[in-house]
């Protein structure tokens, strides 16, 4: 009779968890090293593909230009994400109250998803005089659908038995929504937020490209355009690095918030096959 495997010790679980968290950084270091060696060995001109050291140097030398632009893009992205979360959650709450309402209005939410933002951004920029508000609206429209779709799906995905029990106990719609549907929907909700975070950033950058705003209130998209005109490819890559850092940070923050809220009570946050200390 085969002997069952022994449970992993807490020290082994902690080491496995640290290695898992370190793997993305190790892969990034390897890729950056390959990039640096290849550019130097092949003598690729900086105006075609700059080396990582050139990009880092440009981040330092042009920080006075990139930092305000980064803050502008970050502000538009954050406002758009918050607006999408608020509007999308309220819309999902309305949809879940009636199948008729959902059937009547959900196609219009899909219409927002399939309409290219570059096609409607010029109209929004013309109609809305404030530049920041127009950019936030454009980015919100891009990020809205994942919040609506995932939150609605989560609110609908409740146990029929528990739903019948709440009805049997005479629970109101609000009590059922707050105590049953919303806790069951939280994994779907945070999935929608993670997707919306990246789309809000994309929408902000695309809206900046379409608007073509410059000056002190310009974002990273304007810096990318200017760098392309000036063949300053290192600064263009530096702006792209800041955009990537922003996207990864948003994803990480929302993921950490989801783990904090769900904790150990939901199966979606339990480790799959990796022993963790204290479990």
**Residue 133 belongs to domain with CATH number:** 1.10.3720.10
Q: Are residues 113 and 165 in the same domain?
A: yes
Q: Are residues 172 and 209 in the same domain?
A: yes
Q: Are residues 256 and 194 in the same domain?
A: yes
107 domain residue, yes or no: yes
Return d(Cα 186, Cα 88) in angstroms, integer: 14
110 domain residue, yes or no: yes
pTM for the model stands at 0.84
Q: Are residues 252 and 114 in the same domain?
A: yes
Instruction: For 253, list phi and psi in degrees, rounded to 5.
Output: -65, -45
Range of the domain at 14: 10-43
pLDDT over 80 (residue 263): no
Q: Are residues 102 and 16 in the same domain?
A: no
pLDDT over 50 (residue 274): no
Instruction: For 201, list phi and psi in degrees, rounded to 5.
Output: -65, -45
259 domain residue, yes or no: yes
Return d(Cα 150, Cα 127) in angstroms, integer: 30
Among 150, 152, 157, 149, which Cα is nearest to 109's? 149
Q: Are residues 142 and 229 in the same domain?
A: yes
Query: Over the stretch 78-134, which tens digit does the pLDDT of each residue have?
Result: 999 999 999 999 999 899 888 898 888 889 888 888 888 888 888 888 888 888 899
How many domains in the chain?
2
The pLDDT score that the predictor gives to residue 213 is 58
> For residue 121, how many other CB atoms are within 10 A of its CB?
24
191 domain residue, yes or no: yes
Per-residue confidence band for 272, with pLDDT thresholds at 50, 70 and 90: very low
Q: Are residues 132 and 241 in the same domain?
A: yes
4 domain residue, yes or no: no
Q: Are residues 238 and 145 in the same domain?
A: yes
């Amino acid at each position: 009779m085969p002997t069952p495997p022994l449970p992993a010790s807490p020290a082994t679980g902690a080491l496995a968890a640290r290695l898992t968290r370190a793997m993305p950084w190790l892969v990034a270091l390897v890729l950056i090293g390959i990039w640096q060696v290849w550019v130097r060995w092949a003598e690729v001109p900086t105006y075609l593909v700059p080396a990582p050291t050139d990009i880092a140097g440009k981040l330092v030398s042009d920080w006075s230009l990139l930092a305000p632009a980064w803050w502008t893009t970050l502000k538009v992205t954050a406002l758009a994400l918050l607006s999408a979360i608020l509007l999308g959650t309220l819309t999902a709450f309305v949809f879940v109250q009636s199948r008729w309402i959902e059937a009547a209005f959900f196609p219009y939410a899909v219409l927002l998803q399939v309409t290219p933002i570059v096609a409607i951004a010029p109209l929004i920029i013309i109609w809305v005089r404030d530049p920041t508000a127009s950019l936030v609206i454009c980015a919100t429209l891009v990020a809205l659908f994942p919040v609506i779709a995932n939150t609605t799906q989560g609110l609908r995905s409740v146990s029929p038995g528990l739903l019948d029990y709440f009805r049997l106990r005479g629970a109101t719609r609000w009590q059922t929504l707050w105590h049953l549907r919303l806790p069951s929907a939280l994994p779907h909700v945070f999935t929608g937020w993670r997707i919306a975070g990246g789309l809000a950033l994309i929408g902000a950058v695309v809206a900046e490209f379409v608007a073509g705003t410059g000056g002190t209130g310009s974002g990273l998209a304007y810096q990318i355009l200017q760098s392309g005109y000036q063949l300053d490819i290192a600064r263009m890559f530096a702006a792209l690095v800041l955009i990537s850092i922003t996207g990864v940070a948003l994803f990480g923050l929302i993921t950490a918030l989801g783990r904090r809220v769900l904790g150990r009570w939901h199966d979606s946050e339990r480790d799959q096959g990796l022993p963790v200390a204290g479990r």
